[in-house]
Amino acid sequence: MFYRNTTHQRLPFTHMPQNETRRSFLAKGGAAAGSIGMTSLAGCSMLGGGGGTVKISSKRFTEQKILGYMAYHALKENTDLNVVDETGLGGSTQNFQAVKNGEVNMYWEYTGTAWYTVPPQHDKPVGDPEELYKKVKSEFESEHGLAYLDRAPLNNTFVLMANPDWAEKTGVSTMSELAAYINDGNTDLDIVLTTEYIDRPDGWQGTAEHYGFADKLSELSDSVRETGIGLSYQIVGKGEADVGLGYNTNPQISKWDLEVLKDDKQFFPIYNPAPLINSKTYENHGEAIAPPLNKVGPKLDTDTMRGLNKAVAIDGKKAENVATNFLSSEGII
For the chain, how far is it from start to end, CA to CA, in angstroms? 40
Are the C-beta atoms of 297 and 277 separated by less than 8 Å? no
Q: Is residue 289 part of a domain?
A: yes
97 and 240 together in one domain: no
Give the per-residue pLDDT at 13. Answer: 26
Nearest residue to 136 (alpha-carbon basis) of 165, 146, 48, 201: 146
Give the per-residue pLDDT at 112. Answer: 94
Phi, psi of 246 (to 5 degrees): -150, -175
> Is pTM beyond 0.85 here?
no
CATH code for position 203:
3.40.190.120
Give the per-residue pLDDT at 30. Answer: 40
Give 16-56 pLDDT, tens digit per residue: 333 333 334 344 444 334 333 333 444 444 666 556 999 99
Q: Is residue 14 part of a domain?
A: no
Query: For the residues 105-109, what does the mean pLDDT come to?
Result: 98
Query: For the residues 92-97, what does the mean pLDDT come to?
Result: 96
CA distances for 170 relative to 1, 154, 220, angstroms? 28, 28, 17
Q: Which runs of consecutive H residues, i.e. helices, occur in the chain?
A: 22-27, 31-36, 62-78, 92-101, 111-117, 129-144, 164-170, 175-183, 195-199, 204-211, 217-220, 229-237, 252-255, 279-296, 302-313, 319-329
Give the per-residue pLDDT at 87. Answer: 97
242 and 101 together in one domain: no
Q: Is residue 2 part of a domain?
A: no
140 and 282 together in one domain: yes
Give 178-223 pLDDT, tens digit per residue: 999 999 999 999 999 999 899 877 789 999 999 999 999 999 999 9
Q: Is residue 267 part of a domain?
A: no
Q: How many domains does the chain have?
A: 2
Domain extent for 289: 22-154+273-329
96 and 133 together in one domain: yes
CA distances for 291 relative to 63, 167, 208, 258, angstroms? 22, 43, 44, 36
170 and 130 together in one domain: no
Are the C-beta atoms of 288 and 49 separated by less than 8 Å? yes
Query: Any bridge partners for residue 276, and if so which?
Result: 107, 148
181 and 321 together in one domain: no
**C-alpha to C-alpha distance for 143 and 133, rounded to whole angstroms:** 15
Domain end, chosen from 235, 260, 285, is at 260
